[in-house]
Structure 1
């Protein structure tokens, strides 16, 4: 059975001054705390058994995914946004995939995980999905959730999350996904304001 693990959002270029001023040790501590929380929520999870580990990343006001594909020994960058002409992958992503690898290795080393050694030899791969486009600048968060939901590793050619190349043909599908994910977030048991939101939604519905 395939084990897929999803991590909390990683922000590699914090925009707030107080976050930028945090020393490297404190940033690493925060990173470790967030991972500990995520892993503990799964119960008796052994992260070394995972096949795919997903990290949503926020960089330059844009969301994308870094997937550690343990089964294929690759670190894969999954991004809906096409590279503009004259812009290289290094220009866009900088060293963020490698920063993530190093931070994750440091986290794993503290627990003596066997996954640490595997990460040392994993190349970074930028997935060239046929639905990438330069038009959509507002729905990257929806793409991130759908990519994590549907990507199973293995044969890339068989992966079909439902997106098309052009924004116009994606509009209704993205609308459906937005409603689906919003409903999941609102009704989640982890939503501490679930009752308030549901009550407000019912009031608005009665006004129609």
Structure 2
């Protein structure tokens, strides 16, 4: 299974390729009122071509043929919400974190249509995880500044 985050016209979504099930899914928090071609442009076709080229390069021509024949299909999740467009990055991070190739009916990602509290909690968690990640070269200064800030707040409260 492959998951690709895609930015198209300022909006983020995920394209999944599950070779075992011969499926290519478009995972998008925004319900579409336009055809896939108009909404996603050439992104799905370009991704298919690049992935097929990759398989050819690593000498897996059968997988390349499989990828070439996939038809991108938009997944219809119950939590899609047209009113929360500015949070597409939070949605894709949660989608990439929770999607394991299962069907939508078996996918428990914890999102609920219209629930901004869940999105805010996820935003805080993702920001925390990024800031204190071992690959963040500024991790120690971020933690130090947070501790200093916490000490200032505690001193004011006393």
- What is the TM-score of this pair, normalised by structure 2? 0.88
CA contact (8 A) 2:49 2:68 kept: no
The structure where helix makes up a greater share of residues is: 2
Moved over 6 A (4+): none
Aligned-residue CA RMSD (Å): 1.5
Which is bigger in relative contact order (C-alpha 8 A, separation at least 6)?
Answer: 2
Q: Distance in 2 between matches of 1:191 and 1:91?
A: 38
Give matches, 1:16-165, under 5 Å: 52-84=1-33, 87-113=34-60, 114-165=62-113
How far did 1:204 drift?
2.4
CA contact (8 A) 1:76 1:126 kept: yes
Structure whose alpha-carbon radius of gyration is higher:
2
How far did 1:64 drift?
0.6
CA deviation string 1:146-173 (max 9, x = no partner): 111111223321112122222xxx1211
Q: Distance in 2 between matches of 1:151 and 1:141?
A: 15
CA contact (8 A) 2:76 2:104 kept: no
Q: Which runs of 5+ in 1 are unaligned?
A: 1-51
How far did 1:112 drift?
1.0
